[in-house]
Amino acid sequence: MRRELTERFSFTCPVCTWERGEPAPLELLVEREIDGDILSGHFRCPACPRRYPVIEGVAVLDPEPIRTSYDRPDLLQAYLWTHYADLSPELAGEEGGIRGNYFPEIAAQPVRGVVLDLGCNVGRTTFDLAGRAGFVLGIERSFETVKRAREIARSGRVAFHLKDEGDRGRYVDLDATGVVRENVEFVCGDAGALPLPPGVADAVLAANLLDRVRDPRLFLDRASRALRAEGLLLLTVPFTWREEFSPRERWLCEAERDGRRILLDWCEDHGFAAEEVTDLTLTIRNHKRFYELLRPVLVRARKSA
Ligand SMILES: C[S@@+](CC[C@H](N)C(=O)[O-])C[C@H]1O[C@@H](n2cnc3c(N)ncnc32)[C@H](O)[C@@H]1O
């Protein structure tokens, strides 16, 4: 975690901020730092007994850190391809040209100032939004993906083992210097209990996250409170509900209304004006002969003044 991050943001205890409604600024104790990058140490909350470690340069600001399927090597290589295959004409052409408009459409969103990219995985949207924003902070639950996103930011390279079929595969090493930006950082955290006080962000992106959190309505409520007045809420949602992530009774899916309608009604009921509603296309590569085609809806909504 770069030291300048603590000068830019006043991190607060996620539990005191969102459960007790009393944002307590965290105190940082550094154990090892090289060239302004804090590699180990911990944050401590002055108001409760909680401590949040910095491990291998990753600040783990999640009150309940868990390993999920997104930490697994097979999903990590799938997302590295999905986020960065366009850097190699050879890789990008393999699926027959159905890569989709997901990343270009997100990159074109009119953000400015401080942006939070929640559930950023290996960081492509974080870097892309940094082209327009002042600073983008990626907050992600999977430690392995945060570690990888930080490596990409520091090295300007995306190197990994790409699965072809079964145990067969190849090593790829892509030049990402055209994509990587300085004005980003990545931390581990829970998008439903952010380590930041309300009202810090000019824009919040949650790309394909809503159907992966335990309580989607609670998440929407807290994400919207993280925004300043007139801030932008950017959601992409493929509505792929699974009980392993969200209990069925919390799915945004009703007999009378589909997820897109429920989202738009939520915006109206919570003082957000929808500015754009578009269907996107995204390809996720499992292996050389198995791609998934997703059709998430993108909703861009502005918080009232
Ligand atoms: C479907 S992936 C989408 C990744 C990326 N945003 C994209 O569009 O390619 C969902 C991501 O959200 C992360 N995630 C799930 N629950 C989370 C939570 N409560 N807080 C932060 N990240 C979370 C997962 O680890 C995973 O990286």
- Assign residue 262 the CATH number of its domain: 3.40.50.150
If 0-12 CB within 10 Å is exposed, 13-18 middle and 19+ buried, where does residue 107 land? middle
Distances (CA, A) of 205 to 28, 126, 131: 27, 9, 15
What is the model's pLDDT at position 89?
A: 82
What pLDDT does 152 receive? 98
Q: What is the pLDDT of residues 168-206, one digit of tens each?
A: 999 999 999 999 999 999 999 999 999 999 999 999 999
Which atom of ligand 1 is found nearest the CA of 120? 6
Atom nearest to 117 CA in ligand 1 = 6
84 and 33 fall within a common domain: no
In the prediction, which pLDDT does 99 show?
73
Same domain, 4 and 130: no
- The C-alpha atoms of residue 76 and residue 78 are separated, in whole angstroms, by 5
Using the mean position of ligand 1's atoms as its centre, give its distance from the Cα of residue 270 in Å. Answer: 24
Do 69 and 197 lie in one domain? The reply is: yes
- Predicted confidence at residue 98, as pLDDT, reads 67
Spans in the chain with pLDDT lower than 50? none
Lining ligand 1 with CB less than 6 A are: 68, 70, 118-121, 140-142, 145, 190-192, 207-209, 212-213
Please report the pLDDT score of residue 134 as a whole number.
97
Same domain, 7 and 99: no
In a shared domain, residues 114 and 22: no
What pLDDT is attached to residue 9?
93
List the beta bridge partners of residue 103. none
- Which pLDDT score is estimated for 97? 62
pLDDT of residue 191: 97
> Of 58, 86, 101, which closes a domain?
58
> What does the alpha-carbon distance between residue 155 and residue 15 come to, in Å, rounded to a whole number?
34
Quick one: 280 and 226 in the same domain? yes
Clarify whether residues 54 and 96 are in a common domain. no
**297-303 vs 227-237, strand pairing mode:** antiparallel
Residue owning the nearest CA to atom 10 of ligand 1: 209
The range of the structural domain enclosing residue 27 comes to 1-58
Domain boundary among 58, 75, 95: 58
Question: For position 91, what pLDDT does the model report?
Answer: 84
- The CA 208 to ligand 1 mean position distance, Å, reads 7
Ligand 1: nearest atom to the Cα of 82: 9
**For the segment 109-121, what is each residue's pLDDT rounded down to a tens digit?**
999 999 999 999 9
Q: Report how many domains make up the chain.
A: 2
Helix-helix angle 143-155:73-84, to 10 degrees: 40
Considering the domain architecture, whether residues 36 and 114 belong to the same structural domain is answered as: no
Residue 9: name the closest of 191, 206, 146, 194 by CA.
194
Whether residue 281 is found in the same domain as residue 216: yes
Same domain? 117 vs 145? yes
Domain end call among 40, 58, 76: 58
